[in-house]
Amino acid sequence: MNFDGRISHRKAVDNGYGEKEMNGTNLLLKAYYEALYERLDAKKDILTVKVKVLLQEEMAKRWPDEIDEEKYTAYKDACIAFVDERIEYYNPIGIQYLFDRRRAKEAFELELQLNWYDSRAEFAALVEAASEKAERGLTEETLRPLAEELIAEVGAFPEKSIISGYETQPALGKLPDYVVARAIREIIR
């Protein structure tokens, strides 16, 4: 699992958004990540079970003759580790560094070289949706409901990129990311 949301967000900060607009957008994106963290952390056990079911289904569908018990266990363990990693990915305690402008360009370029999926368009859509919602004005009372609306609209970034990248060109190396993204999609909807 890559830290593409974190890196891409720093790139978005450098894309010329107006300071006032970006402050509201930043605040809403922080609330979005926090809401995702809380949902997934509260449903971690359900998410783990869902991952195991989806993994079995996908392996039976695409690689029925290539996976033995040992390989299945290795993929299951990887998926479960990815669940923990993805939950921490949204953790609001570690999210403050998301918005740091330093080295954003180099980090973004490195991300593009490391990811097997391209999440730039999905992130741009997330920022655009957050920006539009932030333009309505944010208050303490509206922040969380707007973050929940954002989740309902765009999902849990970068799930769409991972799912479409895998479905376009399935590969065993992509399987853990894909299974976790699918499980998260089902859990948060």
Question: Distance (Å, rounded) from C-alpha 47 to C-alpha 51?
Answer: 6
Residues of the chain predicted below pLDDT 50: 1-22, 95-99, 101
The pLDDT value given to residue 112: 58
The pLDDT value given to residue 65: 87
Angle of helix 120-135 versus helix 19-42 axis, rounded to 10: 110
Task: Tell me the pLDDT of the chain averaged across its residues.
Answer: 83
H-type alpha helices, the chain: 4-13, 19-42, 44-62, 69-89, 104-114, 120-135, 140-154, 159-168, 175-188
Query: What single DSSP character describes residue 152?
Result: H
The model's pLDDT over 64-97, given as tens digits with 9 standing for 90+, comes to 988 889 999 999 999 999 999 999 989 887 644 4
pTM of the model: 0.80
Write out the two tokens for 83: 């669940």
The model's pLDDT over 137-146, given as tens digits with 9 standing for 90+, comes to 889 899 999 9
